[in-house]
Structure 1
Amino acid sequence: MAGTIKALHVDDDPASTDLTAEFLERENENLSVVSATSAEEGLCRLAETDIDCVISDYDMPGQTGIDFLKAVREEYPDLPFILFTGKGSEEVAADAISAGATDYIQKETGTGQYTVLANRITNTVAQYRARRQSERANRRRRQTLTRITDGFVEMDADFTVTDVNEQTVELTGLAREELIGSNYQDDIVEGDSDASFEEYKHVLATGEARTIEARSDINPNRWVEERIFPTEAGDGIYVYFRDITERKRREQKLQAQTQTAPGRSR
C-alpha cells in the first residue's frame, strides 16, 4: 500500500513499545510508530497527531485496553484499533470486539508476531482508507446531484436501479421507494427492448458514453435527452436525463410549417 502509515502503540512497558516500534518499522518501511505508555498519553497523541491505526495493550494501570478503546471510539468511531496483548482469553477477545476493536492479536514469543501485526495494520489501514475515500466520493456525488437540474439514475450490471436523485422523483412522478430496486427491463419497459435500453447495453458493454433523445419510458408523451456513462468500476451505468418535450414540439411545429409552406409539395 502506498503512503506512510502512522501507528500509535500504547503499552505501559516502555521496553515493549520500543521493541514493537523497532520490529514494525523493520517489517514495513512505510510504517512509522508513535509510542505512549498510558491511555491518557495515548489520547493526547491522538489529538496532536494524524494517526492511521491504534495498537494497544490490555493490562495497563489506571485504564485497561478496553477502557482506552471505548474512549477512542467516542472521538474516533472508525479509526482502526488493534488490541495487542499478552492477556489472552476468549472473554477479553469478545469484550474487545464488542467495544469496537478492529482486530485482536495475542502476544507470543519470537519475532514472527511482529510480522503478523505489521500485516494486520497494513491491511486494516488499507481498508479504512478505501472506505473513507469511497465515503468522500459518495458525499461529493450526492452534493453534486442535489445541485443539478437533470434527473439522475444509477443502475447495476443487471440494470436494476440502485440510486436516483430528487429531480428524478419530480420528473417521473414516481416515489424514490418505487424506483430503487426496480429493474429497468422487467419493471419499466416490461421486457420489451427500446432505444434507451439498447444504448444502456452498449455503454455497459463498451464503456463508451452516449447521448440520445428518446420518448420517456415512464410517460410516452414526453421526450427526454439522456446522457449515459459507465460507472467508474465498469459494473453499471449512470444516466443523466432532462425533459426536452417543449423543444421537440417546437421542432416538429417548425418542420410542419416548412413542409406546408407555399411552393413545397404536401
Structure 2
Amino acid sequence: MIRILLADDDPSLLETGKILLEHSGDIEVVTANNGDEAMDILRSEPLDAIISDNQMPGMDGITFLKKVRIRFPDMPFLMHTGLGQEDVVISALKNGADYYLPKGDDPGSEFNELASQVRRMVKNNALERALHESEERYRFIIENFNGIAFERKPDLTVVFAHGAIEPVTGYSAEEINGKEISWDILVHQDDLPLIYDAMKEAEKDPSLSTETEYRIITKEGEVRWVQEFGHYLRKKSGRIHAVQGTIYDITERRQMTEQLIAQRDLGLGLAAARSLGEALELTLSTACKVSGMSFGTLYLENPHTERFEVVRSTGFSDAFIGSIRSFDKTTPICRTVAKGECIYSFFDEMKDFLGCEVSHARVRVVLVIPIVYNASSIGFLLLGSNYPEEISDSSLMSLEVIAFQAGNAIARIWVEEMLAEGERSSGWGDEIRSKTRVD
C-alpha cells in the first residue's frame, strides 16, 4: 500500500482527490489543508509521496517543499497547482520537486496521472534502495571476506584469485594473478593427490561440489592448512574446463583439533607410564609437536642442589646443553617460573633471564612453560624455534595444559617409586613427599 499526503486548501478538491487516488485500491491518502498541517503529519506518520498545491494559507507549497527536502531528500514530491504560474513551476523544480501538473477542468484525468507518476516514483525509490542495500551488503562481504575466491584450470593454473591472498599464502595478488605462481607450487606435494582425486570424483558426477582440506607452503616456507570448496565448470562434452570456489585458512582450527588430540593421547600415555624417563620423553615430544618448535629441554628441580637441571633434551647440541645444563633457583628464569608465569622472547634477549651469555645459531625464539604440581613449580619446559612466529593463544593454553598433565604424572611416578623402594628417601623423593603429603 502506497501512502500519499495530499495538501490543498480547497476542501472539495481534497475530498475528490482522495476518492480518485484511492479508487484503484493500492493507494491510501492522508489530507492536509495547508503546509503547516502537512509538516505535522509528515513528522508523525510514515508516508511514501506528497502531492501539494502551492497557494495555501500560512506555509505555501514552495516553502513546504524546501522543508521537506531538508528532512526527506528522497521523498517523491509532486506539485499540483493552478495554471499560469510559470514562476512557481520553475521555483518548484529548482527546489527539488519531482513532477509538476497544472490544475485543469478534468480532476479524474489529473489524479489518474498523478497516481501513475507516484507509483512510478515509489517503485523507482524502492529499486534504488534495494540496489543501494545490495551494494552495501556486497561491499561488506568483500571487505570482510577472509578467504580466497578463485577460478582455476584443471592443471592448477590460476585464472583469477581475489580476497585474502597474501595473508593466507604470503604471495601478493599480483604474483598469483600474474601467473607467476601456479597453485600446484603452493600445495604440499603430499597433498596434491587430494585435489586431483576431487576432480576425478567430479568427473563422474556432474552435480558434485567438493570440499577438500590440504596443506600449502607459504612464500615464507610455513605450512598452513586450507579448506577448499570447489564447483566445476564443464564444456558441452561434459569435461571439466575450470574450477571455481573459495579457499579458507583453517590452520588454527586444525591446530586446536590436533592440540586436543595431543592432550588426550598425552593423558593416556602418562597414565600408563611407569617410569620417569618414559613420562619425560612423552611430555617433551608432545610439547614440541604442539608448539611447532624443533628444540626443547625439560628441567626438574633438584632439592639437594636447589637448582633446576636438564633431565630431557631434543634438538639442541650437547655443547649448548652444557652451557645451560642447570639454573640456580635465584636466576630470573627460575624466579619467573616459580610465579607460574610463561616467557616468550627472542633468544638474543634471554641472557637477562638465563643469567649467562649463551648463543645458538639455529634458535631465534624461546618459550618457557612452568611445570606445576600442587601450586608449586617443580620444573619447566624450555622450547626453541628458528621461526619467530607469534605463538597463538590456543597453542599457549594447550602447552600449559600439557605442563599441568606432566606435573601430575611426574608427582605420581615419584610417589610410586618411593613406595616401591619401601619409602626409602632418595633425593627428589623427599621433596615430592612434602608436596604430595604422603605420610
* Structure 2 unmatched runs, 5+: 151-158, 184-207, 232-243, 255-439
Aligned residue pairs total: 211
Superposed counterparts of 1:6-25, under 5 Å: 6-25=3-22
Matched, 1:99 2:95: yes
By how many angstroms is 1:7 displaced?
0.4
Q: Deviations over 1:183-234 (max 9, x none)?
A: xxxxx558xxx9xxxxxxxxxxxxx988799xx9xx9x999867689xxxxx
Given that 1:150 and 1:240 are in contact with CA atoms closer than 8 Å, whether structure 2 keeps it comes out as no
Partner of 2:80: 84
In structure 2, which of residues 118, 133, 136 is the aligned counterpart of residue 139 of structure 1? 136
Given that 2:149 and 2:246 are in contact with CA atoms closer than 8 Å, whether structure 1 keeps it comes out as yes
Letter in 1 for 2:73: P
Matched, 1:116 2:121: no
Letter in 2 for 1:119: S
Relative distance call for 1:68 and 1:228 in structure 2 (3 A) is farther
In structure 2, which of residues 65, 70, 77 is the aligned counterpart of residue 74 of structure 1? 70
Taking the aligned partners of 2:111 and 2:22, their CA distance within structure 1 comes to 10
Matched, 1:38 2:34: yes
Give the superposed CA RMSD. Answer: 4.9
By how many angstroms is 1:97 displaced?
2.4
Given that 1:150 and 1:168 are in contact with CA atoms closer than 8 Å, whether structure 2 keeps it comes out as no
Taking the aligned partners of 1:160 and 1:86, their CA distance within structure 2 comes to 61
TM-score, normalising length from structure 1?
0.58
Relative distance call for 1:189 and 1:128 in structure 2 (3 A) is same
Superposed counterparts of 1:1-266, under 5 Å: 4-26=1-23, 28-110=24-106, 111-146=108-143, 148-151=144-147, 167=164, 188=177, 240-242=246-248
Relative distance call for 1:98 and 1:170 in structure 2 (3 A) is farther
Relative distance call for 1:140 and 1:99 in structure 2 (3 A) is same
TM-score, normalising length from structure 2?
0.38
Relative distance call for 1:241 and 1:98 in structure 2 (3 A) is farther
* Structure 1 unmatched runs, 5+: 180-187, 195-207, 230-237, 248-266
Relative distance call for 1:126 and 1:88 in structure 2 (3 A) is farther
Relative distance call for 1:242 and 1:106 in structure 2 (3 A) is farther
Q: After the TM superposition, which segments of 4 or more aligned residues of structure 1 sit over 6 Å from their partners?
A: 168-175, 208-213, 221-226, 244-247
Q: Secondary structure at the match of 2:120?
A: helix
Higher relative contact order (CA 8 A, sep 6+): 1
Between the two proteins, what is the percent identity of the paired residues? 31
Given that 2:212 and 2:229 are in contact with CA atoms closer than 8 Å, whether structure 1 keeps it comes out as yes
Given that 2:83 and 2:104 are in contact with CA atoms closer than 8 Å, whether structure 1 keeps it comes out as no
Letter in 1 for 2:122: V
